[in-house]
Amino acid sequence: MTPILDWGVRVVLWFQRFHPALDLPFKALTFLGEEEAFMLLLPLLYWCLERRTGIRLTVLYLFSAWFNAVAKALGGQPRPFQYDARVQAIVEATGYGLPSGHTQSATVLWGYLATQFRQKWVRILAVILIIGIPLSRVYLGVHFPTDLLGGYVIGAVLLWMYLRWEPGAEEWLKAKGLAWQLALVLVVPTVLALLSPANAQDTISATATLVGMGVGFVFEGRWVRFDSGGEWAKRGMRFMLGVAVIFALRFGLKAAFAALQPEPVFRFVRYAAMGLWGGLGAPWAFVRLRLAETR
């Protein structure tokens, strides 16, 4: 791998010739691949634009995040700034580099949106972000070009598999009773968590959120049945209220659990609570506050 990584360093150093002139646009692009950006985009889609598409994309994104964390832990490849001191890490990045999580997430998320929304501007935006977000990671010194290739390949395969098999799986799950649905949304993420390498903390976050949101989706579909449409003013109020609680849970519980052990257990509780609010608590509150109608 040394010759390949050496070539990768040369590519990174070529991009970094334009530092700091291009820092701002590339930092903006890389933010669109961060967890915080997805904490805004996915709820926006589910609460305010298209409920079913939001559910499907959230499941795909969380499974992709789990797969990426496992692949990184198993691969154990360093990042460019760890491999060669000439490379500057313009943003903070921890953990291993291969495959690029930003690249994989951009591929599955924006690739999926491009298949669901046929407007030309959505597809143009998807192409720009699927290219721009990964390139930002090279410029910022936190990924080799081969990390991007790995993210593209895994993301494209996951997206293809999901588009092919998710509709049938959804219909099968709908035909099952409440007990079956709850068992699946609890057991499958738990098995994924148990299959994760011990040092892959991001897998705990992804599987815990999947548990919380999965349980929330099941009960919301039976008891709440909120409508993601409505007046734009009410949609905006839903989004602001819902996101405020998500970030309060994320940072408030993080502070509350800071001194408690074992850390993975409390991380699981924190992200499961965020997922449950997103999937069930927020839609219930929107209906109760008359910010959303029922279907």
Nearest to 45 by CA among 138, 125, 118, 110: 110
pLDDT over threshold 90, residue 197: no
d(CA 116, CA 265): 36
Higher pLDDT, 199 or 196: 196
pLDDT at 75: 87
Instruction: Dump pLDDT digits (tens) for 114-158.
Output: 999 989 999 999 999 999 999 999 999 999 999 999 999 999 999
Sign of CA dihedral 111, 112, 118, 119: negative
Compute the average pLDDT of residues 245-256: 95
* Single pTM value for the model: 0.93
Mean of per-residue pLDDT scores for the chain:
94
CATH 1.20.144 occupies which residues in the chain?
A: 1-175
pLDDT at 49: 95
Instruction: Dump pLDDT digits (tens) for 77-112.
Output: 999 999 999 999 999 998 899 999 999 999 999 999
Output the CA torsion 72→77→81→82 (10° steps). Answer: 110
pLDDT at 7: 96
Query: Is CATH 1.20.144 what the domain over 1-175 is classified as, yes or no?
Result: yes
Give the percent of the chain with pLDDT over 90. Answer: 85
